[in-house]
Each structure stands twice: as structure tokens, then as C-alpha cells.
Amino acid sequence: MDLAPLSELPGASYVMPVLNEEAYLGDAVRTILQQDYAGDKELVLALGPSVDRSDEIAAALAADDPRVRIVQNPGRDIPIGLNLAIAASRYPVVIRVDAHSELTPDYTRLGIAALRRTGAANVGGIMRAAGETPVQRAIAAAYNSPYGLGGGAYHGDGEAGPAESAYLGIFRREALDAVGGYDEGVRRGEDWELNLRIRRAGGLIRFEPALAVTYRPRASFGDLARQFFATGAWRAVLVRRHPRETPWRFFAPGALVLGIALSLLALTAQLCGVLGWAWWSILHLAPLAYLAAVAFATTRLPGLRGARARWLGAVALVTMHLSWGAGFLFGIAGFAGRAVDRSRV
């Protein structure tokens, strides 16, 4: 992928899908407009069919600052909203932002400097989850732990360098145009899929740990479960499309759910006298090993103090793992199209 050299201060277009974000939208936009970057900036909000005050807040923000513009996203899906916002934007650098995220003041300046220095098509940094209530703090701790999401460098403190994908992303517009933008048929995992196509086209995806974003996760276990079930289901779609590029870690939650299901079936059959207890009891090793792993991981969750906080952290881990795994199996079975993330409604 041949990308022309960037000017010293290229304009930056921020694109943000918005759906039911009245509690977070104002703070997210504030951190964007207050970036310490001297180049031109604009923010395009793609408004989905919210049922809260998100549209009213967005309209007030646009009225207060001419750099903020609005496009409508009646279909509500994130990749559709992102493509609409990108099409309405104009600058050579496109920065994906989230209404649940807050940028550090130097995010744009450092990210564009990395684009210019490395020739990358997309750079991303570290996602730091943070919560306000006890449950949200527990969920954030699980996000920040390798025992929660794991895998991606942007969940930890890895070394700068080439990456598989990037959190949010600071893109060269040429790279987005070259691959056709986001795939609107992928409702979750759209970032990974887009970065895969960029890499296949010869573009570099780069991880820059100096970039940091504060992310506000779901505030209840029910919403977390709905989010992760949909994410797991759509990850299965990507696994079926791109089996050779799929890291092994994507299969672990589904295997866990299968192991627990087999153990429960075997236990039921044993209690009914259909199966014996000697050999079939080996199936119970899966849930027992998982419980031991969760107990160990809970003691390593960052920022949690006290028995209640750690108990909530354990619930967050189990909710993440089992919801994602169940959704993955649902998607592998071919039903991902029915998995819609309703956790924002």
C-alpha cells in the first residue's frame, strides 16, 4: 500500500457513532475538542435512533462549536454510522472515537506523529477501562486484566510495533478508501476485520503505547452479558470467513462453554444412574479447573480492594467468558444475524 507523505500538520477528522449516550457524550466530545493539536479539526457525529437525550445533547454541541457536525444513522449499526461519518468528513487523517471513551490531550498529536514517522496506515494505543460504580469498576478491572479480554496489545502495556489490530484507530484516509471502509455486514468486530483487509493490502497497523484512551464499560452485568454475547457471535462470523487469520484465543471461550455443558450433562446422567462415576467424572475437570482459574485471576484484578469488590470482579470475568463463549457457539451454528447488541438500549 503506497501512501503519500503526510504534511506536518494534516487536518484530522474525528468520526463517532452515537446511540443512547447521554451520560457520556458531553465528556467524550470535550476531550476531542480540547486536543492539543495545532492542525485543523472536525468531529462528525453519526446519530443512531436514540431513546434518551443523545440527539438533544449532540445538537447543542454542534450549535456551540462549528467544528461539530451531525449525520443521521437510522440503521443504528456501528459500521454503517462510521462509513456515513467518514463520507461526510474531509481531512486526510480519520480518527475513530467512541462516545464511551475519553482521549488524553496529546492523543491526536502523538498519533499523527506516529503516522508520519512510521508510514503506518493506522495506529492505535492502549484502552484503559474505568468505572464509577462498584459494578462498573469491577467490569473495568476485568477489561484491564489479561484474564478478562487478553490477547490484544491494546489491553496491556506491550512494546511499540506492528500489530494485528488497533483500538479505535488513527487512519490514513487513503488506506480507508483503498479497502472500501468498514464492512457494513459485520455488526461487531468491525475494527479487526477492517485492519485485516488493510494488512492484506500491504498497509501497516501499528501499536503505540504512548497513546491512551479511557473507556467507560457497561455499568451492569446484564448489559455486559448482552454486549459480549453479540460480540462472540459476530466473532464467529469472522472466524468462518477468515479461518487462517484467526488466533487460537478466539476459540477458548467457546470450548469452555462446551466443556461446562458436557460436565452438566454428565452430572445429570450420573445422578439419574445412566452413567457411572468412575470414568465419566473426568468431564467435571473442565468447570473445576475454570473455577480455580477464576479464583486465581480475581486476586490479580487491578484496582480492586476488599472481598465484595473482588467478588464483583469474579462475576465480571465469568460473565465476559461465558457470554462471549455462548455467543461464539451461536454464531458458529450460523445464527449470528439474530445477535444484536441491545446493551445500549
Q: Give me the pLDDT at residue 148, please.
A: 85
177: Cα separation from own chain's centroid: 22
pLDDT band at 330 (very low <50, low <70, confident <90, very high): very high
Sign of torsion, CA 17 21 25 26? positive
- The H-or-E segment that residue 205 falls in is strand 205-215
Q: Which of 158-162, 166-170, 230-234, 257-261 has the lowest mean pLDDT?
A: 158-162
- Lowest-pLDDT range, 42-56, 80-94, 249-263? 249-263
Nearest CA-CA partner of 166 in 324, 80, 326, 176: 176
Note the pLDDT tens digit of each residue in 118-135.
Answer: 999 999 999 999 999 999
User: Which pLDDT score, from 0 to 100, does residue 279 have?
Assistant: 82
Question: Predicted confidence band at 251 (pLDDT cuts at 50, 70, 90)?
Answer: confident
The residues spanned by each domain of the chain are 12-217, 239-338
- Residues 169, 177: Cα–Cα separation, whole Å: 15
Cα distance between the two ends of the chain: 40
pLDDT at 342: 59
- Closest listed residue to residue 152, CA positions, set 171, 125, 179: 125
Amino acid identity for residue 325 in this structure: G
Cell representation of residue 326: 455462548
152 CB burial (10 A radius; 0-12, 13-18, 19+): buried
The Cα-based distances of 104 to 11, 39, 44, 144, 170 in angstroms read 18, 17, 19, 17, 14
- Lookup: cell for 56: 438533544
- Over the stretch 145-203, which tens digit does the pLDDT of each residue have? 888 876 555 555 678 899 999 999 999 999 999 999 999 988 888 999 999 999 999 99
Rounded CA-CA distance 328/228 in Å is 9
**pLDDT value of residue 160:** 87
Measured distance CA(291)–CA(285) in Å, rounded:
10
Query: If you average pLDDT over residues 54-73, what whole number do you get?
Result: 96
Residue-level pLDDT at 333: 85
Classify domain 12-217 at the CATH topology level. Spore Coat Polysaccharide Biosynthesis Protein SpsA; Chain A (3.90.550)
50, burial (CB in 10 Å: exposed 0-12, middle 13-18, buried 19+): buried
Q: State the pLDDT at residue 154.
A: 55
> Model confidence at 341, in pLDDT bands (50, 70, 90)?
low
Identify which of 126, 212, 116, 108 has the alpha carbon closest to the alpha carbon of residue 170: 108
Residue type (1 letter), 240: R
Band (pLDDT 50/70/90 cuts) for residue 269 is very high
Do residues 223 and 243 touch, judged by C-beta distance below 8 A? Answer: no
Section 228-246 average pLDDT? 87
Q: Which three cell numbers stand for residue 301?
A: 484484578
CB 279 within 8 A of CB 272: no
pLDDT of residue 223: 94
**What's the pLDDT score for residue 278?**
80
334 Cβ contact partners less than 8 Å away, ≥ 6 residues apart = none
Total number of residues shown for the chain: 345
**Which residue would you say has higher pLDDT here, 69 or 2?**
69
Task: Check pLDDT > 60 for residue 243.
Answer: yes
Alpha helices in 20-147 (DSSP H): 25-33, 54-64, 78-88, 107-118, 134-144
For the segment 53-65, the average pLDDT, to the nearest whole number, is 95
Q: What is the pLDDT of residue 155?
A: 55
Closest CA to 131 of 342, 312, 321, 319: 312
**Cα–Cα dist 2/10, whole Å:** 18
CA distance 196 to 215: 23
